[in-house]
Amino acid sequence: MTHEGRADHVEIELRESFLRGRDGDSAAYQGLLEVLTAHLRAYFKRRLTAMPDEVEDLVQETLLAIHNKRHTYQASQPFTAWVYAIGKYKLIDLFRRRAVREQRTDSIDLLAEGAAELFSTADSDAAEARRDLHKLLAQLPDRQRLPIVHTKLEGLSVAEAARATGMSESAVKVGVHRGLKALAALIRGET
Amino acid sequence: MKTDDLVILLANDVEPVERHAVGRRYVIAIGLGAAAAAALLVGLLGVRPDLAEAARLPMFWVKLAFVASLAGASLAVTLRLGRPGVRLHWAPTALALPVLAMWGLGGVELAEASSVERAALVFGTSWKSCPGLIATLSIPVFIAALWAMRGLAPTHLPLAGAASGLLAGAVGALVYCLHCSELGAPFLGIWYLIGMLIPAGVGGLLGTRLLRW
């Protein structure tokens, strides 16, 4: 297969998994996030040679951002460019926080090239994250933390989680949604 | 937490995303913001009493079309800036066209006017208050548009702030048309535009601080 043919193939496959995941298909979504994790890790490792300790934290932060912002993807646009734009934004945001002047090697006009670079390599060698999301999770209020713990970590259904917490089912769903956003805000706040 | 565990956490029992979530957010933001701006206009300035008569003049509609097309184009730019990896394409051109058209019309009006009339075409009777009033009326939509943008994922924060501010300015100007009696194209091309650019500038300055995600 040619290089471009492979890139198209990646685009079609990932986009399909993402759209299925966005409609509630957990298995497709998990598979997609695993692939994105490996690509993001390789990409961040290359860009953060001076700050290797930051890589895994940034991968996690970017995954959370992709999840929390998944409603901003439009089916008419290239999915790989959407992911690349988020990854690059998170990278620049880290540089901004660390007050490192970013070398502007690419602009919005180079989305296709950037996306091709991001998806050209993968790295499944996970380092230990320095930031412990469990600890941040513990800081959330009960109405957000308990729905996440029950439905996401313990694998209860929404109905079961509602019974376990005495919350309504819609409050459980809202709690998960707001809790994951609050988690992203906590990550931003601590760095 | 290991990254693999985070992936499982995010994917486990994942909630389907509601369709048109972005569109609904903007309908709510602009609707509430425009309603608040209209209330502000009625309370502070009042609707011009001769609105029905003014609506018979073609230039009244040209003025409305000028402001409304800027509102539409700035909304298009705003929505594009709020989605990662989406190019602006034709959207900035759509923003420039109404301005260029109004400047062209203003140039024709000035060329045809006598030297005495020219000052009236440029300054009207309200040039001192017009930009400030438009900027004031844009405040509710400004707040609402930044709230709406915070729900998206802008990757160019000053630009996203500026576009949100311009959207607020254009909606504020649209509401201001209910009060203002100026109809000279040079007046509209200068003072209305400045009024709309004030919130755009403020949005550009605040973008990085307020829109980070």
Q: Does residue A72 sit in the same domain as residue A84?
A: yes
Question: What span, in angstroms and rounded, lies between the C-alpha atoms of B130 and B191?
Answer: 6
Residues on chain A touching B22 (C-beta within 8 angstroms): 71-72
Q: Where are the domains of chain B?
A: 22-211
Give the model confidence (pLDDT) of B14-70 as tens digits.
Answer: 889 988 889 999 999 999 999 999 999 999 999 998 988 889 999 999 999 999 999
- How large is the average pLDDT for residues B80-95? 93
B87 contacts chain A (CB < 8 A): yes
Which residue did the predictor score with more confidence, B64 or B13? B64
Could you tell me if residue A147 is left (phi over 0), alpha (psi between -120 and 50 degrees) or otherwise beta?
A: alpha
Question: What span, in angstroms and rounded, lies between the C-alpha atoms of A26 and B185?
Answer: 57
B23 contacts chain A (CB < 8 A): no
Residue A96: pLDDT band (50, 70, 90) is: confident
pLDDT at A129 over 80: yes
Range of the domain at A171: 131-191
Q: Does residue A4 sit in the same domain as residue A30?
A: yes
Give the model confidence (pLDDT) of B159-175 as tens digits.
Answer: 999 999 999 999 999 99
Are B175 and B113 a contacting pair, CB within 8 Å?
no
Give the model confidence (pLDDT) of A1-56 as tens digits.
Answer: 556 677 788 899 999 999 999 999 999 999 999 999 999 999 999 999 888 889 99
Question: What span, in angstroms and rounded, lies between the C-alpha atoms of A90 and A85?
Answer: 9
Number of domains chain A is built from: 2
Q: Which of A22, A70, A152, A187 to mutate to test the interface with B (most CBs of B within 10 A)?
A: A152
Q: Does residue A124 sit in the same domain as residue A176?
A: no
Residue with tokens 């019974």: A163
Give the model confidence (pLDDT) of B132-157 as tens digits.
Answer: 999 999 999 999 999 999 999 999 99
Is residue A153 within a helix (H) or strand (E), and if so which, with residue range?
none
Query: Which amino acid belongs to residue A176?
Result: V
- CATH number, domain of A147, equals 1.10.10.10
Are B172 and B45 a contacting pair, CB within 8 Å?
no
Question: What span, in angstroms and rounded, lies between the C-alpha atoms of A80 and A76?
Answer: 12
Question: What span, in angstroms and rounded, lies between the C-alpha atoms of B86 and A65?
Answer: 17
Closest residue on chain B to A132 (Cα): B1
Q: Does residue A93 sit in the same domain as residue A144?
A: no
Test B213 with A69 for CB contact under 8 angstroms: yes
What is the model's pLDDT at position B97? Answer: 97
Q: Does residue A53 sit in the same domain as residue A19?
A: yes
The ipTM assigned to this model is: 0.90
B14 contacts chain A (CB < 8 A): yes
- How large is the average pLDDT for residues A49-67? 93
Are B38 and B140 a contacting pair, CB within 8 Å?
no
Closest residue on chain B to A80 (Cα): B85
Residues on chain A touching B153 (C-beta within 8 angstroms): 65, 69, 72, 86, 89
- How large is the average pLDDT for residues A71-97? 93
Test B212 with A93 for CB contact under 8 angstroms: yes
Cα torsion angle, B31, B32, B36, B39, sign: positive
Q: Does residue A149 sit in the same domain as residue A74?
A: no
What is the model's pLDDT at position A3? Answer: 63
pLDDT at A191 over 60: no
Which residue did the predictor score with more confidence, B65 or A121? B65
**How many percent of chain B have pLDDT more than 70?**
100
What is the model's pLDDT at position B18? Answer: 87
CA B125, chain centre distance (Å): 24
Q: Which of A114, A130, A146 is the last residue of a domain?
A: A130
B19 contacts chain A (CB < 8 A): no
Q: What is the mean pLDDT of chain B?
A: 95
Comparing A33-37, A132-136, B118-122, which segment has the lowest mean pLDDT? A132-136
pLDDT at B208 over 80: yes
Q: Does residue A119 sit in the same domain as residue A182?
A: no
Q: CA of B33, closest CA in chain A: separation in Å? A: 22
Q: What is the mean pLDDT of chain A?
A: 88
Give the model confidence (pLDDT) of A160-169 as tens digits.
Answer: 999 999 999 9
Q: Does residue A116 sit in the same domain as residue A135?
A: no
Q: How would you write B40-75 as a 3-class SS string?
A: HHHHHCCCCCCHHHHCCCHHHHHHHHHHHHHHHHHH
Q: Does residue A137 sit in the same domain as residue A75?
A: no
Residues on chain B touching A63 (C-beta within 8 angstroms): 3, 6-7, 10
**How many percent of chain B have pLDDT more than 90?**
89
Residues on chain A touching B83 (C-beta within 8 angstroms): 72-74, 77, 82
Closest CA to B101 of B57, B69, B76, B123: B69
Q: CA of A175, closest CA in chain B: separation in Å? A: 12
What is the model's pLDDT at position A37? Answer: 96
pLDDT at A101 over 70: no
Q: Does residue A101 sit in the same domain as residue A144?
A: no
Q: Which of B2, B6, B24 to mutate to test the interface with A (most CBs of A within 10 A)?
A: B6
Question: What span, in angstroms and rounded, lies between the C-alpha atoms of A12 and A10?
Answer: 6
